[in-house]
Amino acid sequence: MWFSIDFSSHTPVYVQIKDNIKASILSGKLKTGDYIPSIRNLAKDIGVNINTVARAYRELEIDGVIRPQRGEGYVVVGVQSEQIREELKDELLKLLRKCKASGIKQNELIEVVKKVYSGNGGEEFDTES
């Protein structure tokens, strides 16, 4: 499957699932009309309980990102791209402040940014859905 879950993170698994699916849509890996994995399949792949995935999907539905089709699965509706990017940048802002307060130099951080964008250091995704 296309993403991995960090079980040692304090971020709940269902939130990580939501984030991953939103990111996949934003990056174009998932398009409007695509089917995402069934609750049972994804739960099996990730190695978590059905209910955990169900919660993630339920909340994504509330957010208007996906739509359930009983008997068939969940279909991608779309995302508020700009809004999600702003959320990500907000999160980044907080972390950067911590970095600054810890004495990390601006140059070091810009280097990290460049490292991520210079080919490697990026995603380890598959191309199929």
* Contacts with DNA, residue ranges (CB under 7 A): 10, 12-15, 38-41, 47-52, 54-55, 57-58, 61, 68-74
Beta-sheet pairing, 35-36 with 66-69: unpaired
- C-alpha span between 22 and 103 (Å, rounded): 33
By rule CB under 8 A, what string of x and - marks binding of each residue 86-115 to a second copy? --xx-xxx-xxxxxxxxxx-x-xxx-xxxx
Residue from the set 23, 46, 56, 66 that interacts with a second copy by CB under 8 A:
23
Phi, psi of 123 (to 5 degrees): -80, 155
Q: Which does 2 bind (CB under 5 to 8 A by kind): a second copy, DNA, none?
A: none
Q: Tell me the Ramachandran region of residue 119: left when phi exceeds 0, alpha when psi lies from -120 to 50, beta otherwise.
A: left
User: Which one of DNA, a second copy, none is in contact with 103 (Cβ closer than 5 to 8 A by kind)?
Assistant: a second copy
Unique residue bearing structure tokens 């995302």:
79
Q: What is the C-alpha to C-alpha distance for residues 81 and 124, in angstroms, rounded to an integer?
A: 22
Residues at the interface with a second copy (CB under 8 A): 10-12, 15, 19, 22-24, 26-28, 81, 84-85, 88-89, 91-93, 95-104, 106, 108-110, 112-117, 121-123, 125
